[in-house]
Amino acid sequence: MKKQIWIIALLIISSCTYFIETIDNNEYTVQNISKDSFSILFSHNINGETHPCGCRHHPLGGLPQIAGIMHEIEKKSDTLYVDSGDTFFASSTIPDSLNSSLSFTGKNLARGLGKLKLSYMLPGEQDLAMGWDFLKNVEEENPFTYLVSNPSATFPLNHKKIVIYQRGPHKVFLIALSDPNIFKPQFSSAFISPIAQIPFIKEELKKAGFEQKNPFHRLIALTNSGIDVDKIYAKNFPEIDWIIGSHSQSFTKFPVEEGNTKMVQVLSRNHYLGEIKISLTADKKSDSYAIHESRDEKAKVLQPNPFHAFLTDHKQRLAKIQLEEQNAMSVKSIGVQKYNTSSSCIECHTDQAKKWQQTPHALAYLTLIKAQEENNLSCVKCHSLGLGSTHGFQRAQDIIQFEQTDEKKLKRLKDNYWKHVKSEFTNFTSIRNLPPHTIEKISNKWVKFDEQSGVSHNFSNVQCLNCHDKHLDHPFSTSEVKVPDSQKFEKMKAKCLNCHNQDQSPEWYEDGKASEIKIIQMMKKVQCNH
């Protein structure tokens, strides 16, 4: 019997470069293949991030880091890289004032993913933040292809409905289900309901040669509906072996199973890379799932790492675009009373100021300078006081305001000011690693430098009014509203979590929810005993 099975198998694949030697009905070996496994690598919800911002204690993500991880995997396994959407932008709506910088970032991220050998992508609703033309342009300039299995007749992008990959006797059938319900009305008509389309997709798969009972065939679906809807797909489409999801940003350390279908997601911003490993020497029961954390040291695995130069160029070009955008903003705050900055508070609250000046909050803006992100308003808002308020500042270049009003003198003054700050106050690796007395020393030097430079308001760094609500005329106002003690914690907690979200401070969270114990611990570290 064993001999007969071996002969049949050999005849079936005699034209191929590999052959199967059957040992018994359940075990076999595949010979004459270059590697023993085939890995489908995946990402999603990258949200326009090319590199970690530097806010985290242990930064995760970044194109150099992902390149290093892929380099390690490719030593042992053939690979296919796919993405299931919400990739190019952090939101489905983009302010007109940020159109140029976010368009540049999205397109450059697409270039980076192309260099990582991204093969197929399912567009998500955030990817359409700039409309179909943006995605058409991305497709024309990059080697990857859009994969959508339920397009309507009006779907405007070049795409594939089904992709088949073969390695040895194994065939992987890839499909992608896009949920019209998550898109804005002007885009949703480009997709047919996945549930309604499933019978037709099954028929197309059958014509393409897919056999559910074939132990060498796998059906993998990309989706952008969230894991709850993925469970519905799995019930209606039990032939699917794996669903690579997005949108809900679930973190599946182990696959979520519905029948025989396994569902996986790996969170956002390239902090993790997912891998479905297909053994080429066993049937699909041996398939496995792994999550790869994109730590900083992973970038060093690939030497030289081409993405270091890529990011240096990206940051320099982006900073110029952001500056141009902000120069075009109309600023109407002449005559508006400004917030009292820390230098004003220090005059009376010396003990509290000393405690604050020993915390990383007091030098938070220097983190952005070292990361070349000082023109990035999405970063500046959490490293400063008053961004977006007429009582604060609108543009990154106005974060420091001087008593000098002459435009020519003011420009020269600002240039010299920042040259001094960068040369004198950034000689460290990480603010968090500095001892409190060193942080205080730098902070005091900065305060004295502001006095010498004629600074009227320094809105940089996380300072007093980021936490405390005070009247603009404090301490002379008698109209300040007192917050009841019972409400103080919740109000302060909300302020903390506005910046210390799950992306930037994951150690504050447990099972997706902020830990009150952790928040209280962190508050005690920075409280000024006011």
Q: How many CA atoms lie within 13 A of 234 on its CB side?
A: 23
The tokens of 181 are what? Answer: 């319900």
Q: How many CA atoms lie within 13 A of 356 on its CB side?
A: 23
| DSSP state string for 220-255 | EEEE-S-HHHHHHHHHH-TT-SEEE--SS--B-SS-
The pTM assigned to this predicted structure is 0.86
pLDDT per residue, tens digit, the chain (530 aa), is 444 443 334 333 333 444 443 333 334 455 556 788 899 999 999 999 999 877 777 889 999 999 999 999 999 999 999 999 999 999 999 999 899 999 999 999 999 999 999 999 999 999 999 999 999 999 999 999 999 999 999 999 999 999 999 988 899 999 999 999 999 999 999 999 999 999 999 999 999 999 999 999 999 999 999 999 999 999 999 999 999 999 988 899 999 999 999 999 998 899 999 999 998 888 888 999 999 999 999 999 999 999 999 999 999 999 999 999 998 887 766 678 999 999 999 989 999 999 999 999 999 999 999 988 999 998 999 999 999 999 999 999 999 999 988 888 999 999 999 999 999 999 998 898 999 999 999 999 999 999 999 999 999 999 999 999 888 888 887 677 777 878 889 999 999 999 998 878 888 988 778 999 999 999 999 988 75
**Pick from 344, 316, 323: which is nearest to 399 by CA?**
323
Helix (H, G, I), strand (E, B) or coil at 371: coil
User: Are the C-beta atoms of residues 403 and 409 closer than 8 Å to each other?
Assistant: no
User: Are the C-beta atoms of residues 227 and 182 closer than 8 Å to each other?
Assistant: no
The tokens of 390 are what? Answer: 């007429």
The tokens of 152 are what? Answer: 């309507």
Distance CA 155, CA 201 (A): 17
